Amino acid sequence: MRFPVAPLGQGHRTHMSLPAVHAAQDIAAGAFCHEGESVRPVRIQPERQNGVGFHGPKCSMVNGSPRDGGLAVRVGVDYAGGTPRASPSAGNNPLEEALRIRTEALRRIRCAAVLSAAAVVFTASAGAAQEDLKIYISADMEGVVGTVTGEQLGPSGFEYERARQWMTEEVNAAIRGARAAGATEILVSDSHGNGQNLLLDELPQDVTVIRSWPRPLSMMAGIDDTFDGAIFIGYHTGTDNRAGVRAHTMSSARLTSVKLNGVPVPETGLNAAIAGYFGVPVIMLSGDDAIADEARELLGDLETAVVKKAYGFHSAETLMPKAAYRLIEETAARAVARIADFEPWDLGEPVELEVSFKNYRPVEALGYLEIVERIDSHTIRYTGPDMIAVGDFLTFLLNYDSNAAP
């Protein structure tokens, strides 16, 4: 877990690892507390909202009266101490009492100096911790600006090469926006069609890309609990939705419905549930107006970039590409900036999957598996121990071919 640190006098927020906090406290404990003093434990707020500050160690008397005030650190030293208080008793020598007060004051000065050194540890660690702000981008194509039919969506279409450019630039826009808001590590999943759509030479050369099929967790391959948020680019509505350009879930040719725990879900829902298993929230989505509405209804107040208005399955009113890129960049920056506001969509355990097929025979064959229940002529049910098992089952369902070679 990482803890937010708000530098004094600055409006931005960074994160610091717990080991760094402990290291700084060790410095303080070993250096500024003399005999009769100790480092008093302080409360660390494991929250990521509103720039909660970290208050550092304080000196306190163990066998005597507590000192007035104290010392506090917020990536810098805020000396909040008051005048050392004398506790004279009857018959004390005034000279000895003055020396005692002077000694105590010197200890306070030493305390402040060492806390300044500890603040250096805080600052350096906070800078390093920023490198751990990881964003996962899953990119589809049906929701990309300008795409409306198969002419843009596959290698045989006359506009496919142009649509690949649009898709690549939308991903680039999301990367720029995320980085502007503090993201420093990004993984991109090419999640449409053959999984080989993005133009690698035109992406930033310090990102990594997952391509082609089959692969574990399908459109979310590579995600784990080290990511801070997920962004979905070029997404579309599900097969249960009557609205949306190219509405389908996983396979427009084979499936008519997909449900998780009895709730119809688009690919947005399936992939959000996989991310949610790892504690990763979906923070932003781009696509047409229908998927923006469907995603908000399912996942809550995520950021959305609407790049076209769906008129029908194969028609839309679309922005121009450069306008779409600008909108996506701004939306991604806004999403990452408020990343602490989002919650993972975690379905818990176990997870029930229902899949309905257009054709009869796949359901008949799947019914021979003991782990599969055939609930009607076109629908099967599988209950997995968790969302990862369900994701793997779907990968098998959509990729198994006994004639596959090599």
For Cα atoms 143, 146, 147, give the angle at the middle one, nearest 5 degrees: 55
**CA-closest candidate to residue 316, choices 139, 140, 145, 141:** 145
Task: State the Cα–Cα distance between residues 148 and 313, nearest whole angstrom.
Answer: 8
Q: Catalytic residue, from 192, 248, 314, 378: name it.
A: 248
Contact 74, 55 (CB under 8 A): yes
For the question of residue 248 being annotated catalytic, the response is yes
Q: Residue 117 corresponds to which amino acid?
A: A
Task: State the Cα–Cα distance between residues 33 and 201, nearest whole angstrom.
Answer: 57
The pair of structure tokens assigned to 267 is 């690919």
Q: Residue 157 corresponds to which amino acid?
A: G
Q: Residue 342 corresponds to which amino acid?
A: F
Respond yes or no on whether the N-terminal peptide bond of residue 216 is cis (omega within 30° of 0): no
Q: Are strands 229-235 and 134-139 parallel, antiparallel or unpaired?
A: parallel
Q: Catalogue the E-assigned strands of 37-165.
A: 37-40, 58-61, 71-73, 77-79, 134-139
Q: Residue 291 corresponds to which amino acid?
A: I
**Residue 11 burial (CB < 10 Å; 0-12/13-18/19+)?**
exposed
For Cα atoms 310, 311, 315, give the angle at the middle one, nearest 5 degrees: 90
The CA-atom distances, in angstroms, between 318 and each of 69, 267, 322, 324 are 62, 22, 12, 9
The CA-atom distances, in angstroms, between 311 and each of 148, 245, 301 are 10, 8, 24
CB atoms within 10 A of CB 104: 17
3-state secondary structure of 92: coil
Catalytic residues: 248
